[in-house]
Structure 1
Amino acid sequence: MITYKECGVNIDEGYKTVSLMKQYTESTNIPGVLNKIGSFAGMFELKGFNNPVLVAGTDGVGTKLEIAFKMRKYHSIGIDCVAMCVNDILCQGAKPLFFLDYIACGKLKSEIAADIVKGVSEGCIMADCALIGGETAEMPGFYENGKYDIAGFAVGAVEKEKIITGERVESGDVLIGIASSGIHSNGYSLVRKIIEDLNEPFDEKTIGEEILTPTRIYVKSVSKILEKFHVKAMAHITGGGFYENIPRMFSKSFTAVIHESSFPVPKIFKYLMDRGVEKNHMFNTFNMGIGFVICVDEEQCSDVIRELIQMGEKAYRIGYVKKGPKVVTFE
């Protein structure tokens, strides 16, 4: 008689995984969560909105996972997965409410899966949202043993009249950049091509530790800015860097002019440029030290930057908006 376990799927390990995960998922509970992990679906009661619009986003971590596998450090990629989703829906002015994850592997090891979910739960706490469900799939023969994939799905809400659309952007508006924590979760196919020795010393740690730094989550600080100021547009700087993401802020045709010397470029990006990556390609691939961009009018700029700095962010006036084609230029 053949069993599921003999085919490579260990149901008991799955049960153990869920048991280990529960302590992390329950730590993310916020008002609105109606049930615990273990039901067939997560339930969330929408409260505190008069005319809510649901805003959803989904993403993964990409080939940054390969760095985690080689270094056997898994929890930070859970934070990355949450960050990539919640930072995106934040751009429309939405408050993240809940998150679900999907983890797939060839052979399930409960401790590794639980460590990833520990990171997911930490990311949810940073984003002030609940982890209300997920799926862990063991697929022998499809994924190599020791390899995992993770993706996530975030749902938030915003009052309809407060949706950030970019429609009110005008020529002369100012662009404020909020510092990234490093490479975040984009461009790792290029990074892995350049960096071969993850144990190479870099800035008082290894370069592997540097490039595994989790993506910064901007939800709490930017949400406070939205409460106090009139924000016209926002962009999460992910794959495509400055050139692709900043024009996405605008619903009409405007040119974003970036002052290249207005913010510090972290050492890791200079390291990559020193190894042959051309500067324009860097700005078209990476965040270059700016993970999130806010567009406001000139009168509010100084106050917004001051408020962000008081909340522990590093924020800079990085440019302005002018009439022209929907592109990014540097000066």
Structure 2
Amino acid sequence: MYNFKHYIQKHTPSNWFLKLLVILRLLLTNYTDISESRAKCYILKFYCISIWFCISLFYFYDVFARNAFGIYSLCVVEYTLCGIANFIGGDDFFFKFIRIIEINDRIIGFKKMSFFTKYLCAITVSNVTIRLFISITHAIVDPRPQYLFATVTFALLSTDINHIFNILIFSIIQNRMKQLQLFFKSIYIPVNISGRNEVEINIKSIRKGLLYYNNLLDNLRSISKSLQVLLLGMMLEVMQSLIMISSPAIIANITNNHVNNIKRMLSSKLLQTSDESLVFELETTLQYMTLRPFQFTICRVVTLNIYLPFVVIGLCITYVVVGLQLSQIKI
């Protein structure tokens, strides 16, 4: 019979972040087998199912009582679906991925490589900070019961830790690829090779690097199905974000169309009348609406219209490209 400490030591390396991640995922109702004892497994399953049911019940009861679709509805649905998917599949694919990574690291000679990278640290800290700030702000401003925000925050943190799970996997691959780049760079190939032994050493090093690269890709492919399920869960939250970003822009664009229709209507009426006073008022109104159109800008940079999502994507791509270019500069 396994206890929790033995399970963690068996399935994860001596890395504090991975151990903490496994414990947090379990506490946030992402089910994981921690014992061969059926009683303990049933208790954990009951805990996860009870939390899923309570959060869904509290949230959607409030939604139906107010007869309004809440902005976090898709997040709660995503939380439930991800929990069920993890309940069925478990975390075995992740532990297998980590074990193979450690074996490949030992074979090539990469010692004590951390699974916690600076990118993952920045993403985790910023995401948790933003989530808590938004949830606390909503709890203070919104008059609805506080327990509702507590349940939503719990669901958001649970889905976020699944996203961090995905980011961790690709971050591990990225860190190994970076180390492999340094490995190939360290292979010194002189113009004039004096001895055959030096050639054989370089050949072995190149083959070892190629084998490591192949093993990394095979390892990632072996967990692709489980990883795709987790990544597809993110699409619900992406859809919600797109709706939240696009809705004001679409409404603003429709409003701008109304303004344009008003100007066309005034121009038409201006052509129909010959009264000077009426012409003056129509021209004044038309000129004012032309000089002061309906327009809302965000930070005096981005105009709120139907093209806003594309502008946001363009800005993100621009800053990513600039960041990558600056990262190549060595001071």
- Normalising by structure 2, we get a TM-score of 0.24
In terms of fraction of residues, the more helix-rich structure is 2
Larger Rg belongs to:
2
Q: Which has the higher contact order (CA 8 A, sep 6+)?
A: 1
In terms of fraction of residues, the more strand-rich structure is 1
